[in-house]
Amino acid sequence: MLKKIRNIGVMAHIDAGKTTTTERILYYTGKSHKIGEVDDGEAVMDWMEQEQERGITIQSAATTTYWRGFQINIIDTPGHVDFTAEVERSLRVLDGAVAIFDAVRGVEPQTETVWRQAERYHTPCVGYVNKMDRVGADFFQVLADIREKLRVEPAAIQIPLGKESAFAGVIDLISEREIRWKGDDGGELVYSEIAPDNMALASEWREKLIDALSSVSDEITELYVSGEPVPPELIRAELRKAVLKRELLPVLAGASRRNLGVQPLIDAVIDYLPAPDETAPALAYNVKTDETTEIPCDPKAKPLGLVFKIQNDREAGSLCYIRMYSGKIEGGTAVYNIGKRKRERVNRILRMHSNKSEPMDSLSAGDIGVIIGLKVSQTGDTIGSEAYQVILEKMQFPEPVISVSIEPKTVSERDKLNDILEILSKEDPTFTKRENEETGQLIISGMGELHLEVLVTRILKEYKIEARVGNPQVTYRESISSVVERRETFSRVVAGKETAAALTLRLEPLPRGSGNKYVCAVRRADIPSEIFEAVESGVMGALNSGAAMGYPCIDTGVTLTEITYSELTGTIAAFTACASLCFDEACRSASPVLLEPIMLITLVSPSEFTGNVISLITQRGGQVVSMDLKSSAGEVKACAPMEKMFGFMTALRSESQGRATFSMEFSHFEKKT
């Protein structure tokens, strides 16, 4: 039953306690019988060897558990900015999310990034302020931080009883009672009346909760104005409506490491986050009618699902994680990959619990599972039936900005390395590989130094390939800076038969960040559609090969303005080659420019070192975008070329006695000076 399903993600900045909190949720709901600690490398959700060694989440892990008769599908996402694609694809298919905030640090840079991703997909959220037992914890400062940085109204539904080492429990502002936890594992909740000493603070914050709700609920406003008491059931019902519209963010408090505060968080997931049929219908593009259509969550409709993650298993092959939006898929049946126009067979369906699984007979609308047997499906593909061909909205992933060369130590291992790189790039859309035509080296690219370090370690250790790895290099891009129109004629004799093609392309620069655009301005009934597809294929291939230096082209508009076709000599291969040649020649006369990646850097430093930190970034060609100087620590946001940021962490530590931290994410490409 759809009303009894919750698809949620756990998202936050690195080290805010996402996996620790998820481990407690699994323990209290009876899914695991022992609390797994991240620090000990025993967390159920961090199953990869690298995750256990580094103590961080690298891959999003899925699991299913049950609470109060509800099925909760949970995806634990990474917090490090290099693995932002894992968060992106998880949020794309989830109905709600738990945003975890560090009680000491408040809203951190990566929290802002994942919040923007949640906004893009209109994902309703519940907030949880973790680490209330840490020195410097301040629940009310975190609320102010949320309001200021995330531009959302936080509605505290709990306030903490004490803080730091004195943190003992919470006051539930809705039911107006204190909650404490008993036992080493925090499994028993003890409820009591609010103590007289805490009554004034509790009344003040309950008033603020009612006030926040009255701004979005007429019913509560009437009771509030007339001075009548507002019943807890009404508060929960109206708060749920506000959360589904993303008007309010209910916030809870706890200390997951000490097993305090997690059970009310699970209740909040059930009470305030949406069931699959309560979210806006998914948007899809109809292949046959060229129209956008809405897909309501209906288990009895035609099957339609989105592949949001591929994971390679040595024994089972590709594990395709699928979110079903409509209809039902059963094991042993055939499905249709709509984008690739290929039929595939569903051998088995599994429900995942991290890296373990249990078999399922079928997968219905609103649910998340894994299908084994799909050979050609990739991240972002739509699975359905030939009778109803619509493609669900694809995910947008950031461009890789850093590269290293990788060479096997023996020639015999080159094919094996190529196969492994193919598997890894299928698993991770932000990881790409190419061969340098001049040197013959294999070049792999990713989102950052840690991202590539993790992937290289997997290649060397997990797949046992002996290889030499080069130093990290910046991945540049190319573009053009002037409008050019060029005609190209292609003629070759292949196997004794003449093949010919002729066409005209117009190239123009597009605004930064708009991507490449191909337009066919010629439509003729006497020319087969395969010829137009061949021209587009040739242009797209040439865009990836670059304009002058072999780096991929971006922000380039290409228009086919004229085409000459003969039934006797016109072939697909001729038009593909002609389009590619025409593009290359046009690029050379369109003033090509080299673009370098500019990174957005967020630095957090004790106030006494802020001047040194700013000086350090300006020495590397960076520009300060904004500064937020608080009494204890200052936050500086700056933009700087990726090329100048190698080794920055070492310099930053020496300038700040190891007390400053920074995070870096791709911002945009800019002309290299």
Element (H, E) at 311: strand 304-313
Taking 90 as the threshold, does the pLDDT of residue 12 lie above it? no
Q: What is the C-alpha to C-alpha distance for residues 251 and 253, in angstroms, rounded to an integer? A: 7
* Mean predicted confidence (pLDDT) in 42-69: 63
Q: Residue 327: is it exposed, middle or buried by C-beta count within 10 angstroms (0-12/13-18/19+)?
A: buried
Residue 488: band (very low, low, confident or very high) from pLDDT cuts 50, 70, 90: very high
pLDDT at 576: 94
Q: What does the pLDDT look like over 373-432, one tens digit per residue? A: 888 888 888 999 988 888 887 767 777 778 888 888 888 888 888 888 888 888 788 888
For the chain, helix, strand, coil in percent to 5 are: 30, 35, 35
pLDDT at 50: 52
- What is the reported pTM? 0.72
Cβ-based neighbour number of residue 1 at 10 Å: 11
At 20, phi and psi to the nearest 5?
-60, -45
pLDDT at 51: 45
Contact partners, residue 124, CB within 8 Å, separation at least 6:
95, 96, 97, 243, 244, 245, 246, 272, 273, 274
Q: What is the C-alpha to C-alpha distance for residues 302 and 245, in angstroms, rounded to an integer? A: 28
* Mean predicted confidence (pLDDT) in 519-528: 87
Cα distances from 254 to residues 130, 181, 185, 263, 359, in angstroms, run 5, 11, 14, 10, 35
Q: Residue 356: is it exposed, middle or buried by C-beta count within 10 angstroms (0-12/13-18/19+)?
A: exposed
Q: What does the pLDDT look like over 345-387, one tens digit per residue? A: 999 998 877 667 788 999 999 998 989 988 888 888 899 998 8
C-alpha of 197 from chain center: 45
Q: What does the pLDDT look like over 148-177, one tens digit per residue? A: 989 899 999 999 999 899 999 999 999 999
* Mean predicted confidence (pLDDT) in 571-587: 94
Taking 80 as the threshold, does the pLDDT of residue 656 lie above it? yes
Q: What is the C-alpha to C-alpha distance for residues 164 and 420, in angstroms, rounded to an integer? A: 48
- Higher-pLDDT residue of 45 and 400 is 400
Q: Where is average pLDDT lowest: 76-80, 250-254, 307-311?
A: 76-80
Q: What is the C-alpha to C-alpha distance for residues 336 and 388, in angstroms, rounded to an integer? A: 10
Which residues in 612-635 are b (16+ Cβ under 10 Å) and which e? ebbebbeebebeeeeeeeeeebbb
- Higher-pLDDT residue of 494 and 176 is 176
Check if the beta carbon of residue 499 is closer than 8 Å to that of residue 568.
no
Instruction: Kindly report the average pLDDT of the chain as a whole number.
Output: 86
Query: Three-class SS of residue 225?
Result: helix
Instruction: Please tell me the total number of residues recorded for the chain in this structure.
Output: 673
pLDDT at 649: 76
* Mean predicted confidence (pLDDT) in 280-303: 86
pLDDT at 47: 42
Q: Where are the beta strands (DSSP E) in 175-276?
A: 177-182, 188-192, 248-253
Q: What is the C-alpha to C-alpha distance for residues 234 and 254, in angstroms, rounded to an integer? A: 25
Q: Which pairing describes strands 473-474 and 467-469: parallel, antiparallel, or unpaired?
A: unpaired
pLDDT at 531: 92
Query: Which structure tokens are listed for 379?
Result: 């991240």
Element (H, E) at 125: strand 125-130
Q: What does the pLDDT look like over 617-645, one tens digit per residue? A: 999 889 999 888 765 667 888 999 988 88
Check if the beta carbon of residue 522 is closer than 8 Å to that of residue 561.
yes
